[in-house]
Amino acid sequence: MCMHDEATPHYIDMIDQTTLGHRFIKQEFNQTPRIGWQIDPFGHSAVQAYLLGAEVGFDSLFFGRIDYQDRAKRKDEKTLEFVWQGSKTFGSSAQARQMLSVILVTSVIGLESRDIVAFIVYLVIFISLCCAFV
């Protein structure tokens, strides 16, 4: 609902923007968000892992963009799903409860046909999960 810039934001701006989106969903649909989708981020931070992690009740996060080399490596190693550890400041208990993150690359340019099928499958799963809240 309200994705902030991750490249150069101030910590308070990240919290305010995330809170605004969560409040909107609560007010409009009377639901508490449990899934995040970063449609077009420019980088990822440890603070973001915390803001959209288990500490705030999130179960999963879908990335809309990752570095192509990172994606290729994770695809080869079958590690497209991973636990995104938040800031070490929050301690090991918070890290142990961090969410399971699923990488979802939305750019169709250069994707092989099986990647497009995988994208559609992930998109259907995401929409199905979101519709459960409405």
Question: Annotated catalytic, 40?
Answer: yes
User: Using 50, 70 and 90 to split pLDDT, how confident is the model at 101?
Assistant: very low
Of the residues 40, 59, 67, 70, which is catalytic? 40
How far is 134 from 33, CA to CA, in rounded Å? 11
**The tokens of 116 are what?**
């497009």
What one-character-per-residue DSSP string does 35-97 give? EEEESS-S---HHHHHHTSGGGT--EEEES---HHHHHHHHHHT-SEEE----GGGHHHHHHT
Both structure tokens of 24: 């909107």
Q: Hey, what domains does the chain have and what are their CATH numbers?
A: 11-131 (3.20.110.10)
Q: Are the CB atoms for 61 and 99 separated by under 8 Å?
A: yes
pTM attached to this predicted model: 0.58
- Residues 43-69 have pLDDT tens digits of 667 677 777 766 677 777 777 677 778
